[in-house]
Amino acid sequence: MVGSVLVVLGPSLGCGSGTAVHEPASSGVSGGGASGGAGNSDGSVDAGASGYAAESTGAGSGGTVGATNSGSTGTTGARMVDAGRAGSTPSGDAGVDASQPLRADAGAVGGGGQDAGAGDASFTEGGVGCGGQVLGGGPVTTNAMHLDIGVHDPSMIWDGSRYFLFATGGTLGIRSSPDMFTWTNAGNVFSAVPAWVATALGSIPTDLWAPDISYFNGLFHVYYAGSSFGSNDSVIGLATTTSLESPAFSDRGMVVQSTTSDDFNAIDPNVSFDQDCGPWLAYGSFWSGIKLHKLDAATGKLATDDTNTYSLAARGGSNAIEAASIVSHNGYYYLFVSFDACCKGLDSTYRTMMGRATQITGPYTDKTGASMMTGAAEQLLVTSGRYIGPGGGTAWKDGDQYLYVYHYYDGDDSGVSKLQVRPIAFDDDDWVSLGAPLFP
């Protein structure tokens, strides 16, 4: 395409190799598929394994993209970040002293469990300020050129000097960038699918799905899913490393498992933090919806002081809900999810939805107060023009900026799934809107 930049690093997944297809078998899954190509830093592309077409569940959704954050276009710029961030300082940052001790964000208003505006400096914004070393604060700028970055189910983090991008496919390839626009391969989490995954599932999955990257207790944590097509016979595993620049991942094994006798699906993991900086794991796809478990920060596994399984959101009928992530702001927790069908290329009907709560465990509601457990939610993104089925993303906090990283299916490129990032904005009533994309 004229005026575009082709950046195909790792699998370009249009429901090809490794695409996380999460539909119950009873909903009717169609076969077929596209192939993905594993990209190399020199620009060459390795042959990809063929995959599957996808979920036939979910009616198509029309409409336009949600409200745009005023002033979100143009250069947002790099920002000053809290002391304690390691690595280089991007242009525009105040000089950061990496020797300074950790401090949590000071003076955040709104109390946990209180209405916005109540004013309570004890509420710490979950994410940055939690977990040992202060991360975040990478450059967030717009780019007028279209970027073709093949990806599915993305998750991203700034480690103090570079962005690192994780996504569905193979043994979980990693990409890195100084600016979100120029990406290079940065290795894989695993050299092969861990043996315990095959033992738990009874077979070796072709690909691992939907990795989530987070940082706490001095370690980078990658939670990921292993499953089989159209089944809730699934596992969530964990790998950790002290560095992403020079990674040496340790396989920590299983965290959550679901079987065909369960009413939930253990895939699409995401870590978030409560006001005390305690980590929590959200997950779920179809069946009875989105679940939440408290984690033990020391082990990364499920906590023993709170063994409850919290139900956060669900849908009747098709049960088409997945890809949960949670961020906190001003005394509220915001649950982002995807409704309807991913992985069908040009026929995908994914859309991004959101609700909020005053406790990380819920209840989450829409603006009218209707519960997300009954399928209520605010719509943030829906198919518009070439951007088909936007979803499968991760809401996260990058320094003082909130971002939503997700994939869409490119209507101008045969429905191939590609990367997009949008700023998250909060209005005067502390409800979310998504700003203009960082690259068109």
Return the active site residues: 153, 322
- Structural contact between residues 119 and 131, judged by C-beta atoms closer than 8 angstroms: no
Q: Indicate left, alpha or beta for 298 from its phi (over 0: left) and psi (-120 to 50: alpha).
A: alpha
Q: How many whole angstroms separate alpha carbon 8 and alpha carbon 405? A: 17
What residues does 282 pair with on adjacent strands?
270, 292
Written in H, E and C, the secondary structure of the chain is CCCEEEECCCCCCCCCCCCCCCCCHHHCECCCCCECCEECCCCCEECCCECCCCECCCCCCCCCCCCCCCCCCCCCCCCCCCCCCCCCCCCCCCCCCCCCCCCCCCCCCCCCCCCCCCCCCCCCCCCCCCCCCCCCCCCCCCCCCEEEEECCCCEEEECCCCEEEECCCCCCEEEEECCCCCCEEEEECCCCCCHHHHHHHCCCCCCCEEEEEEEECCEEEEEEEECCCCCCCEEEEEEEECCCCCCCCEEEEEEEEECCCCCCCCCCCEEEECCCCCEEEEECECCCCEEEEEECCCCCCECCCCCCCEEEECCCCCCCEEEEEEEEECCEEEEEEEECCCCCHHHCCCEEEEEEECCCCCCCECCCCCEHHHCCCEEEECCECCEEEEEEEEEEEECCEEEEEEEEEECCCCCCEEEEEEEEEECCCCCEEECCCCCC
Kindly state the tokens that stand for 113.
């469990």
Sign of CA dihedral 186, 188, 189, 191: negative
Q: How many whole angstroms separate alpha carbon 321 and alpha carbon 305? A: 29
